[in-house]
């Protein structure tokens, strides 16, 4: 992952746009408050790096195919990083979410679809997740 960092403030990240919250049904553009960042929160990334992240979590390997962790290790990693196992019909997968004050994200892994499928949905709307119109 080449363009990903963990931040405790967005003050130095001028290329990160404001997110939104809703106040009485109206979208309000706000800078993410620093008190919502740090620790497990505040990962700033790009779509390309998110794809790399999902590919690794699907296969436990690098883009070149170098295996970094065993299948058992990958399951332990998912559990330790807060991925949730889910079963729908005959498919098993994992999901992980993130929510900040002004941003939200959800990732899905479907390891048994083709060679593995990862989906990321990110939004510039945080707490309240009502549609911003």
**CB contact at 8 A, 92 and 85:** yes
Q: Which pLDDT score is estimated for 124?
A: 86
Q: What is the arithmetic mean of pLDDT over 24-45?
A: 80
36 pLDDT above the threshold of 80: no
Whether 45 is in a domain gets the answer yes
Residue 94 is part of which domain span? Answer: 5-123
> What gap in Å lies between CA 6 and CA 22, rounded to an integer?
26
Mean pLDDT over all residues of the chain? 81
How many domains is the chain partitioned into structurally?
A: 1
Cβ atoms within 10 Å of 20's Cβ, excluding its own: 20
Q: Which pLDDT score is estimated for 121?
A: 92
Whether 32 is in a domain gets the answer yes
Q: Which pLDDT score is estimated for 49?
A: 92
Q: Which pLDDT score is estimated for 101?
A: 82
Whether 133 is in a domain gets the answer no
Whether 93 is in a domain gets the answer yes
Whether 129 is in a domain gets the answer no
Q: What is the arithmetic mean of pLDDT over 2-6?
A: 83
Of 90, 79, 103, whose CA–CA distance to 19 is shortest?
103
**CB contact at 8 A, 66 and 26:** no
Whether 38 is in a domain gets the answer yes
In the structure, what pLDDT confidence band is assigned to residue 129 with cuts at 50, 70 and 90?
very low
Q: What is the pLDDT of residues 72-115, one digit of tens each?
A: 888 888 888 888 988 888 778 889 888 888 888 899 988 777 67
Q: What is the arithmetic mean of pLDDT over 45-70?
A: 86
In the structure, what pLDDT confidence band is assigned to residue 128 with cuts at 50, 70 and 90?
low
DSSP 3-state assignment of 34?
helix
Threshold 0.85, pTM exceeds: no
132 pLDDT above the threshold of 70: no
């Amino acid at each position: 992952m080449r363009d990903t960092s963990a931040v405790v403030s967005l003050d130095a990240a001028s290329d990160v746009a404001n997110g939104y919250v809703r106040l009485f049904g109206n979208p309000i553009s706000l800078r993410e408050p620093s008190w919502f960042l740090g620790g497990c929160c505040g990962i700033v990334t790009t779509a390309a790096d998110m794809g790399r992240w999902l590919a690794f979590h699907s296969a436990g390997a690098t883009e070149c195919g170098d295996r970094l962790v065993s299948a058992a290790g990958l399951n332990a990693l998912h559990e330790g990083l807060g991925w949730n196992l889910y079963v729908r019909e005959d498919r098993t997968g994992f999901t992980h979410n993130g929510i900040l004050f002004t941003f939200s994200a959800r990732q899905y892994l479907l390891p048994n679809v083709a060679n593995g499928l990862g989906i990321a949905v990110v939004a510039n709307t945080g707490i309240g997740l009502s549609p911003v119109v």
